[in-house]
Amino acid sequence: MAGDEIFLNPVVLRAFRFVEGWLDVSRNELISHRRQARLVRARTLFVVIMHRHTIFSYPEIGRLLGGRDHTTIMHMVKVVAPRLRERDPAFAGLCDRFDPKEHSACTQ
């Protein structure tokens, strides 16, 4: 996807709202460069959602998260997410709960 259109994609907007609502983080925190565990967990959930429910490339997903390098996104998909899913049942449940077509993506 070219330009800033990617930021207006409905699935992207729903994913941001979903992660913000369920994990109590702001969009600014998601795109920040802080590496607190709660933010890494939230970013990883966002990456999993984008990887699973869109055709965006790793560089495009990285742009959504404040310009992160594509290799960082690949590492989240291939290493961090599987570890979190294995060790954190709540994280695994959230990965499976997101519905890209649901208008109110955060329904607790």
Going by C-beta distance under 8 Å and a sequence separation of 6 or more, which residues neighbour residue 68? 62
Reported as a single tens digit per residue, the pLDDT across 6-26 is 778 899 999 999 999 999 999
Q: Which CATH class is domain 3-97?
A: mainly alpha
For residue 4, count CB atoms less than 10 angstroms from its CB and return exposed for 0-12, middle for 13-18, buried for 19 or more: exposed
Please name which of 66, 53, 67 lies closest in space to residue 100, comparing C-alpha atoms: 53
> Could you tell me the two tokens for 3?
């330009």
Q: What is the pLDDT of residues 45-97, one digit of tens each?
A: 999 999 999 999 999 999 999 999 999 999 999 999 999 999 999 999 999 99
The answer to whether 70 and 41 are in contact (CB under 8 A) is: no
Domain boundaries, the chain: 3-97
- Asked if residue 31 has pLDDT above 80, the reply is yes
- pTM given for the model: 0.90
